[in-house]
Amino acid sequence: MVNQVSIGLVQIGGEPLAVEENRDLTVGWTTQAFDKGADIVVLPEMIVHGYAFDWRALAESAEPVDGPTVKQWTALAAEANGYVVGGFCERDGESLYNSAVAVGPDGVILHYRKTHLFANEKIVFHDGDLGFPVAHTRFGTIGLCVCYDLRFVEVVRLMALKGADLICVPTAWLPGYDQERWDEDGMCPQGRGAVLQANLSQVYIACASQAGRHGQFDFLGSSILVDPYGKLAAGPLPGSEDAISVTEVDLGAAKRAQVRGELIAPRADRRTDLYGLWENGQKY
């Protein structure tokens, strides 16, 4: 296993329901990231379909997980011998999901449906039902969740306990949950939460957000890559602009961060005799 990996954050915005244009946008920016040396490229939440709450219009444009978007991203991953992570509106039968995938040269390695739906998403999408998967790559083990899922500490901790070195998070960060938009360093409150979670669960977290005004929403941008000690490895990217970053990191640091001193081992110090996390009947 090679722990050195270059992670690309692609911060762009998608116009609501402009599926073909948005898909082409992801292709162009992902290609740029690979050209800059990225091994893993993370795109924002719902970047292909944009944010719209017209169920009928979304249903007409939504795609199955083996649809044109995932096929296009897989082709990009195969050409670059890398991985693409991004979000889209998935249709499965009559159900719509706020979904994300991680694809490699041979196709989908992670398929995730947003578990914690935010605000009006509850009106349009079904709750995610695929759990919190992780997948092994030649660089390390990666996990996947979406935006508001980061507000629930169990999500990151569970994937970390399942072996994730890196958690990729397509996001579309918005104001409204918190009282401020950005701090003096250009960090939005959601980003500060990711910093804390990365440190507490000893895992890299890569967040790629939509940015700028698209439709009725004004996205916060501020995409970041955080190391397992809670330090910024990249970002925050500009709050309202399209941007890209490519940063080389050592995913092996996620394992080393589990021991902070001779008698300080936060992962081993967990009192699983008193508490734990369960998924599908298995305790972590």
Can you say how many angstroms the Cα of residue 185 is from the centroid of all Cα atoms in its chain? 22
pLDDT in tens, 2-13: 789 999 999 999
Residue 176: which pLDDT band, with cuts at 50, 70 and 90?
confident
At 52, the pLDDT band (50, 70, 90 cuts) reads confident
Task: Confirm whether 272 is domain-assigned.
Answer: no
Q: Would 248 be classed as within a structural domain?
A: yes
99-103, 182-186, 229-233, 266-270: range with lowest mean pLDDT = 182-186
Residue 203 lies in a domain: yes
Model confidence over 13-48: pLDDT tens digits? Answer: 999 999 999 999 999 999 999 999 999 999 999 999
- Report yes or no on 26 lying in a domain: yes
Handedness of CA 118, 228, 110, 19 (dihedral sign): positive
How many structural domains comprise the chain?
A: 1
Give the DSSP H/E element, type plus range, for residue 200: helix 189-201
Residue 266 falls within a domain, yes or no? no
Q: Is residue 78 part of a domain?
A: yes
CATH number at residue 176: 3.60.110.10
In angstroms, rounded to a whole number, what is the distance separating the alpha carbons of residues 192 and 207?
A: 11
Residue 173, pLDDT above cutoff 90: yes
Residue 273 falls inside a structural domain: no
Q: Is residue 98 part of a domain?
A: yes
> CA dist 157 to 50, 198, 253, 277, Å?
29, 9, 16, 9
Give the domain extent around 91.
Answer: 4-258
Picking from 237, 268, 164, 273, the residue whose alpha carbon sits closest to that of residue 13 is 237
d(CA 3, CA 52): 39
For tokens 């990191």, name the residue: 249
Q: Judging by beta carbons within 10 Å of its beta carbon (0-12, 13-18, 19+), is residue 35 exposed, middle or buried?
A: exposed
